[in-house]
Chains A and B, each alone.
Chain A
Amino acid sequence: MTATSLDELGPVDYLVVEFPAGKSNFTGEMAAELLALVDSGTIRVIDIVILTKDEHGTVEAVELADAGELGELQALEAELAELLAEEDIEHLAAAMEPNSTAGVLIWENLWAAPFASAARRAGGQLIANGRIPIQAIIASIEADEALASVGD
């Protein structure tokens, strides 16, 4: 990867979505929504790995290509960069509960790349970023509401 392409790289995020045993319901909707994000140029998928953790905590990782019939995800699989190393997978699996399956998704936020590049050209450097869980926002709102009701 050249210095130029690195300068144009958008922020790269990851998420781990866990499916407790017996609670998964794969209808293809997730794949369709993911492909829509790719097709619209919103994101570029960099890596996908599927993890399973048994009741003893043993983790198995499966490459997307080895996950069976991929359907529409077949085209996506060909473009994956295999960014994650084995140790990353161990770190990510630490968040999983026993008897669960999880999908790990790594993606580049293409929508943010032009702004990030502009910030770098302006001399800025990223010193903090993150994601606020929706649960935390809900809790904050509820706490405010509770506080307000005490004052009534």
Chain B
Amino acid sequence: MPLRAARVGRVGVIGAPVARTAARTAVVAKAVTPGPAPVAKTAVVAAAVTPGRPGRRRRI
């Protein structure tokens, strides 16, 4: 890798190999199944997190 010498031999800050974001949660598999276009889904999320809307129940 043609990196600058300053990067070589130093202790890193990331710590461990990184996993792909899409593989981190099982629920993501459902989110990427065919359905509304991503733009439409983003609008749904924006609406869901807008203050003043009826809150979703928290199940803890």
Contacts and interface: CB of A to CB of B under 8 A. Distances in A.
A85 interface: yes
B6 interface: yes
A143 interface: yes
Chain A interface SS verdict (over half): helix
Contact of A136 (B19, B27, B44): B27
Contact of B7 (A86, A95, A135): A86
Interface of A: 14, 16, 49, 59-63, 66, 82-92, 94-95, 133-144
B9 interface: yes
A61 B19 CA distance: 18
Given A94-B18, A135-B32, A86 B1 contact: yes
* B interface bracket (residues with beta carbon within 8 Å of A): 35 or more
A16 B19 CA distance: 11
A16 B8 CA distance: 20
Interface of B: 1-4, 6-22, 24-25, 27-32, 35, 41-42, 44-45, 48-49, 56
Given A82-B4, A85-B13, A138 B31 contact: yes
B11 A85 contact: yes
Which 7 A-B residue pairings sit nearest by Cβ, starting from the closest?
A: A94-B17, A139-B27, A139-B31, A88-B12, A85-B10, A135-B31, A87-B12
B20 A137 contact: no
Given A86-B12, A91-B16, A135-B21, 14 more contacts: A16-B18, A60-B2, A61-B2, A82-B4, A85-B11, A86-B9, A87-B11, A89-B3, A90-B17, A91-B14, A95-B17, A95-B21, A139-B30, A142-B31
Contact of A92 (B14, B21, B25): B14
A95 B9 CA distance: 22
Contacts of B16: 91
Contacts of A139: 25, 27-31
A136 B31 contact: yes
